[in-house]
């Protein structure tokens, strides 16, 4: 067991308690002010000087005291916001904020980064340079809160940045990483269909926006197959279809909303062009009209190869070499990539799943984690940043 692991075990109970607190009191994007207050309180108790960034976010620096001339600033990022999901876990830490839930593990991310702060403040003599803690608000809505953190100067003079995600689809004790593509770009689209309202007894006198919308949704899988390189990953998903208010009235309007996930701009552009053609063709076939609007999200997460190797070595030191897995990219998006547009960055996945209770995916109302992952994530991040500073 490394010295870092011993320190982490000393603080494990408090890290778990913090995670449960944040699970109980989730807050919407850019409104995480109670979360911010709690984070500042804990960092101040460690002798740090936290400041606000991007409104509800927090930044704090830990200065190493190891002799040497290192001027590196290594940043660690945790996201803070919750999701608009009703919490259905049957545990005392179930959300007390109705309709909001940490269904993506951000409660654990906050607790882990606070745990890292505890460990690193106790071992300043083991590393040089500066470790910058970034608690980022507003991760979920596009384009994400990272830009606000950047605009407040949090990346100034930073050498590299590391982030992590707890994943219930990885078993607890595992670490997933890549030396390149890690997470996809996630964009949104809205299709507004316009027809002509009428009575269901005389469909020939109406133009059903619902019929056109249903045909669009059914045909969407063809877009990726017809218009993109089959060797390039892409996913088109519909999350919402709204039309009509009465069972006997043919609706004049319908709205479709969904996402497009890709790894390169050419594929993204091909999909959106194909989506436009498909929607207009299917609507035109029944004399309906449509408008297609798109909202571009953050770029794909592409890990820096050099620092990915640092994270993998740290994971092997803490979890064992057999626990470290180089994994294929996933189609989930994250605005961590916004930081990577400016400096080298690495996103890693910490396994948090088990077969007893942590089996539900992110965004599920019963999403939960194996809390042993908090200790492991804290150890891996602390080991990673010390290795990055001393390399």
Q: Of 247, 263, 295, which residue constitutes the final position of a domain?
A: 295
Report the alpha-carbon distance of residue 321 to residue 29 in Å, rounded: 37
**Are 103 and 203 part of one and the same domain?**
no
pLDDT of amino acid 141: 73
**Are 127 and 22 part of one and the same domain?**
yes
CATH number (domain holding residue 200): 3.30.70.360
Whether 245 has a binding-site annotation, put simply, is no
**Are 173 and 245 part of one and the same domain?**
no
**Are 217 and 68 part of one and the same domain?**
no
**Are 179 and 317 part of one and the same domain?**
yes
Task: Report the largest interatomic distance among the alpha carbons of the chain, rounded to a whole angstrom.
Answer: 84
pLDDT of amino acid 144: 77
pTM: 0.92
**Are 235 and 346 part of one and the same domain?**
no
**Are 46 and 98 part of one and the same domain?**
yes
- Domain containing 226: what range? 185-295
pLDDT of amino acid 143: 72
Pair of tokens at residue 331: 């189609």
For the chain, what is the domain count? 2
Report the alpha-carbon distance of residue 377 to residue 334 in Å, rounded: 18
pLDDT of amino acid 228: 87
pLDDT of amino acid 69: 63
Q: Return per-residue pLDDT of the chain as tens, 391 residues.
A: 468 999 999 999 999 999 999 999 999 999 999 999 999 999 999 999 999 999 999 999 999 988 876 679 999 999 999 999 999 999 999 999 999 999 999 999 999 999 999 999 999 998 989 999 999 998 777 777 899 999 999 999 999 999 999 999 999 999 999 999 999 999 999 999 999 999 999 999 999 999 999 999 999 988 988 888 888 999 999 999 999 999 999 999 999 999 999 999 999 999 999 999 999 999 999 999 999 999 999 999 999 999 999 999 999 999 999 999 999 999 999 999 999 999 999 999 999 998 887 688 988 999 999 999 999 999 999 999 999 998 7
**Are 49 and 96 part of one and the same domain?**
yes
Length of the chain: 391
CA 106 to each of CA 49, 76, 196, 263, 297: distance values in angstroms, whole numbers, following the listed order: 23, 14, 45, 24, 20
Whether 126 has a binding-site annotation, put simply, is no
Residue 235 burial (10 A CB sphere; 0-12, 13-18, 19+): middle
Q: Of 243, 273, 295, which residue constitutes the final position of a domain?
A: 295
Q: Of 295, 315, 349, which residue constitutes the final position of a domain?
A: 295
Half-sphere exposure of 197 (CA within 13 A, CB side): 11
317, containing H or E segment? helix 305-319
Cα-Cα-Cα-Cα torsion 125, 127, 129, 133, nearest 10 degrees, comes to -100
**Are 94 and 189 part of one and the same domain?**
no
**Are 286 and 315 part of one and the same domain?**
no
Q: Is 79 helix (H, G, I), strand (E, B) or coil?
A: strand
**Are 195 and 243 part of one and the same domain?**
yes
**Are 222 and 341 part of one and the same domain?**
no
Eight-class DSSP state of 334:
-
CATH number (domain holding residue 17): 3.40.630.10
Whether 109 has a binding-site annotation, put simply, is no
């Amino acid at each position: 067991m490394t010295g870092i692991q011993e320190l982490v075990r000393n603080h494990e109970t408090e890290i778990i308690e913090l995670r449960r607190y944040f699970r109980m009191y989730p807050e919407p994007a850019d409104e995480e002010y109670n979360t911010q207050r709690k984070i500042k309180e804990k960092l101040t108790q460690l002798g740090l000087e936290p400041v606000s960034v991007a409104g509800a976010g927090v930044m704090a620096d830990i200065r190493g005291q190891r002799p040497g001339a290192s001027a590196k600033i290594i940043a660690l990022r945790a996201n803070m916001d919750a999701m608009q999901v009703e919490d259905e876990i049957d545990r005392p830490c179930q959300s007390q904020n109705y309709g909001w839930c940490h269904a993506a593990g951000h409660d654990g991310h906050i607790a882990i980064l606070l745990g890292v702060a505890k460990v690193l403040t106790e071992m300043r003599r083991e590393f040089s340079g500066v470790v910058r803690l970034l608690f980022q608000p507003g991760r979920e809505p596009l384009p994400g809160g990272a830009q606000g953190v950047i605009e407040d100067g949090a990346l100034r003079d930073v050498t590299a940045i590391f982030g992590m995600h707890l994943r219930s689809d990885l078993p607890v004790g595992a670490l997933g990483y890549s030396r390149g593509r890690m997470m996809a770009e996630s964009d949104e689209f809205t299709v507004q269909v316009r027809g002509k309202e009428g009575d269901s007894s005389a469909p020939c006198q109406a133009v059903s926006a619902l019929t056109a919308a249903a045909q669009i949704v059914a045909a969407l899988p063809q877009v990726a197959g017809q218009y993109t390189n089959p060797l390039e990953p892409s996913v088109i998903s519909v999350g919402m279809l709204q039309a009509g208010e009465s069972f006997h009235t043919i609706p004049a309007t319908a709205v479709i909303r969904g996402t497009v996930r890709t790894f390169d701009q050419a594929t993204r552009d091909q999909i959106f062009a194909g989506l436009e053609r498909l929607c207009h063709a299917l609507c035109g076939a029944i004399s309906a009209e449509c408008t297609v609007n798109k909202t571009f999200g953050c770029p794909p997460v592409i890990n820096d190869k050099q620092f990915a190797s640092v994270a993998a070595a740290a994971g092997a030191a803490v979890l064992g070499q057999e626990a470290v897995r180089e994994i294929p990219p996933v189609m989930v998006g994250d605005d961590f990539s916004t930081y990577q547009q400016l400096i080298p960055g690495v996103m890693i996945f910490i396994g948090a799943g088990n077969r007893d209770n942590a089996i539900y995916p992110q965004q599920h109302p019963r999403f939960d984690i194996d809390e042993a992952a908090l200790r492991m994530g804290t150890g891996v991040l602390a080991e990673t940043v010390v290795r990055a500073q001393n390399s």
